[in-house]
């Protein structure tokens, strides 16, 4: 798929994500909106996957380490055919498979359970190392939040990936500059990221994470080292009153706000 096609799908995913948050009365809509363009590029162009065979041994692996934005992943998986689009209406309801954090034992297409931050990248390093040991050709991708990069486990994993020269591993940092309750610069600010990753021996791309052409080029890049994509994104991207506002980390729109957001997303389609 070309960037324009992917942009159209991303807008559809944003609209369905917004609707599901509003109906459920919960979610992490700000970080979901910042990540959706990257998820769309992965699932509709980059990943080698088979929705009817979610455990196919030759599939590429994707781990959503920032697991609190699980809804964006669920909507993307549904759009791609891993689960039914109707199931999105069950998000957070009793007995639903679609919990607030992704569960690999329940949802087809989820590679590992995530939620506690700082776990996804170490698991991804293990998957990439396993591919090297077994001669498998799959590529492993993992998305973290920028606030999540405060976790020491990530930097241990970064060191190990460089040591093992895991050129089959791509880390995507969703750099939307906000975390729960505060901006990144007002907490433990690990940015800027590129020089730090390069010092560990990684190759680094720095992109506009809400621009599809930039995203595709970076995701399809290959080299002889692990690769980090620092994706500069906007919290609440696509919805004017949510964008770059810390309150929308997990705030839920009221009826009037929902109406405005639907109109803005629909107008862009």
pLDDT confidence of 90, banded at 50, 70, 90? very high
Average pLDDT over residues 192-214: 98
pLDDT confidence of 185, banded at 50, 70, 90? confident
For residue 184 the two structure tokens come to 């990144």
Class of residue 147 by CB neighbours under 10 A (exposed 0-12, middle 13-18, buried 19+):
buried
- Alpha-carbon dihedral angle through residues 174, 252, 80, 131, given to the nearest 10 degrees: 40
CA 66 to centroid of chain Cα atoms:
7
Taking all residues of the chain, what is their mean pLDDT, rounded to a whole number? 96
Residue 128's Cβ-side half-sphere holds a number of Cα atoms within 13 Å equal to 29
Average pLDDT over residues 34-55: 98
- Rounded to whole angstroms, how far apart are CA atoms 140 and 162? 15
pLDDT confidence of 25, banded at 50, 70, 90? very high
Average pLDDT over residues 247-264: 95
Stronger pLDDT, 54 or 184, i.e. the higher one? 54
| Residues above pLDDT 70, as percent of the chain | 100
Q: Are residues 113 and 101 in contact, defined by beta-carbon separation less than 8 angstroms?
A: yes
Q: Residue 165 sits in a domain of what CATH number?
A: 3.40.50.970
The count of domains in the chain is 1
pLDDT at residue 186 is higher than 90: no
pLDDT at residue 12 is higher than 90: yes
For residue range 145-182, what is the model confidence (pLDDT) as tens digits?
Answer: 999 999 999 999 999 999 999 999 999 999 999 888 88
Continuous H helices in 28-89: 29-41, 70-80
According to DSSP, the β-strands at 182-183 and 203-208 are: unpaired
User: Closest by alpha carbon to 232, among 181, 183, 192, 200?
Assistant: 192
Range of the domain at 69: 3-267
Q: Supply the pLDDT for residue 269.
A: 66
For residue range 216-253, what is the model confidence (pLDDT) as tens digits?
Answer: 999 999 999 999 999 999 999 999 999 998 899 889 99
According to DSSP, the β-strands at 178-179 and 182-183 are: antiparallel
CA 30 to centroid of chain Cα atoms:
12
Q: What is the pTM of this model?
A: 0.97
- Rounded to whole angstroms, how far apart are CA atoms 15 and 9? 10
- Rounded to whole angstroms, how far apart are CA atoms 64 and 39? 9
Using only the alpha carbons of the chain, give its radius of gyration: 17
Q: Supply the pLDDT for residue 267.
A: 87
């Amino acid at each position: 798929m070309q960037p324009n096609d992917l942009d159209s799908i991303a807008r559809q995913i944003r609209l369905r994500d917004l609707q599901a948050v509003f109906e459920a009365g919960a979610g992490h809509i700000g970080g979901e909106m910042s990540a959706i363009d990257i998820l769309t590029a992965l699932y509709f162009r980059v990943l080698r996957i088979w929705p009817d065979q979610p455990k196919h041994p030759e599939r590429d692996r994707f781990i959503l380490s920032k697991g609190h934005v699980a809804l964006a992943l669920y909507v993307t998986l549904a759009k791609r055919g891993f689960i039914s689009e109707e199931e999105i209406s069950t998000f957070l309801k009793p007995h639903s498979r679609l919990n607030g954090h992704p569960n690999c034992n329940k949802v087809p297409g989820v590679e590992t359970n995530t939620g506690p931050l700082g776990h996804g990248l170490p698991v991804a390093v293990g998957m990439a190392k396993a591919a090297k040991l077994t001669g498998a050709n799959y590529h492993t991708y993992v998305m973290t939040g920028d606030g999540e990069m405060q976790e020491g486990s990530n930097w241990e994993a970064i060191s190990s990936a460089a040591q093992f020269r895991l050129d089959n591993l791509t880390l995507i940092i969703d750099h939307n500059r906000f975390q729960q309750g505060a901006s990144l610069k007002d907490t433990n600010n690990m940015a800027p990221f590129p020089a730090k990753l390069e010092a560990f021996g990684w190759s680094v791309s720095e992109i506009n994470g809400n621009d599809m052409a930039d995203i595709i080029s970076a995701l399809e890049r290959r080299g002889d080292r692990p690769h980090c994509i620092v994706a500069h994104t906007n919290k609440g991207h696509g919805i004017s009153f949510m964008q770059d506002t810390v309150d929308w980390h997990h705030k839920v729109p009221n009826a009037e706000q929902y109406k405005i957001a639907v109109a803005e997303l629909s107008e862009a389609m």
